[in-house]
Amino acid sequence: MAMRQPAAGSAYAKEAAEAQRSGFSAFFTAEQWRSIEALMTERRVEEGSFLFWEGEPADKLYFILSGKVKLRKSTEDGKEFILSILQEGDLTGGPEAGRQSVYGFSAEAAREARIGVIAWKELEALLLSSGELAVRWMNGMALQQRIAESKFRDLLLYGKPGALASTLIRLSNSYGRLRPNGLEIGLRLTNAELAEFIGTTRESVNRMLASMKDEGIVSVKGGLITIADLPALRRLCGCPSCPACPKEVCRI
């Protein structure tokens, strides 16, 4: 069923609707985003189900309307990485540079999700019809590329402890909640899942987290990690102070 956006009844309603948009959709005006929404077909995905698999033809894009989606990457030696955990407002999929290609990763629903599916050919026609919309789309994709590059930088330059520290900082920027004892990451992840973010073993993550807890950098209660010493985490991964690395980039 195609998406439909209710007409705004007043200028205030229009401004309120625009203010509620986040993530990728925030790059566009309300009118531009309605034209993109009109291309979407809503799809409900159960937890554990896949939107697409690595190696399938990349002819669709997927916009997260609600829920959470994990992006997974497999290596030739059988290892799996979690590239990202997308949430409401995020976009994934689509061909590279507008060419026919295959998906370079798989997308799995981490929770029940509502997805807006867009056929690339229909989107391409819309982008060709509006130069301003195409530029805004390009800006949104450039931000996604910058996020990916910053993750690879942390993985390559600062070793496993730095990569874990970077992952925790990004998780706190995406899902953090301020608590009396620090910044709580409001997303339960097992140590095995944390290991998949940085390409190491669960045992290595166990040891690194234990060391961080001993040093008072983090605490863990009820399966939730709380960051008690954010500057210490930043030192581990050579993280620059904001606004040099804004939260729009420093996210999971």
Which residue would you say has higher pLDDT here, 33 or 99?
Answer: 33
Instruction: Tell me if residue 227 falls in helix, strand or coil.
Output: strand
Instruction: Enter the pTM of the model.
Output: 0.76
* pLDDT band at 10; cut points 50, 70, 90: very low
- 168-173: average pLDDT: 91
The CA-based dihedral angle spanning residues 1, 137, 147, 65, taken in that order and rounded to the nearest 10 degrees: -20
pLDDT for residue 104: 87
Domains identified in the chain and CATH numbers: 22-129 (2.60.120.10), 150-249 (1.10.10.10)
Is the CB of residue 228 less than 8 Å from the CB of residue 60? Answer: no
pLDDT for residue 96: 61
pLDDT for residue 22: 62
What radius of gyration, in Å, describes the C-alpha atoms of the chain?
19
Cα angle 164, 249, 149; round to 5: 70
Whether the pLDDT of residue 11 is over 70: the answer is: no
Per the DSSP assignment, residues forming a β-bridge with 182 are 179
How far is residue 149's CA from residue 143's CA, in Å, rounded to a whole number?
10
Classify strands 50-52 and 176-179 as parallel, antiparallel or unpaired. unpaired
Whether the pLDDT of residue 152 is over 70: the answer is: yes
- 167-191: average pLDDT: 91
- 5 CB neighbour count, 10 Å cutoff: 12
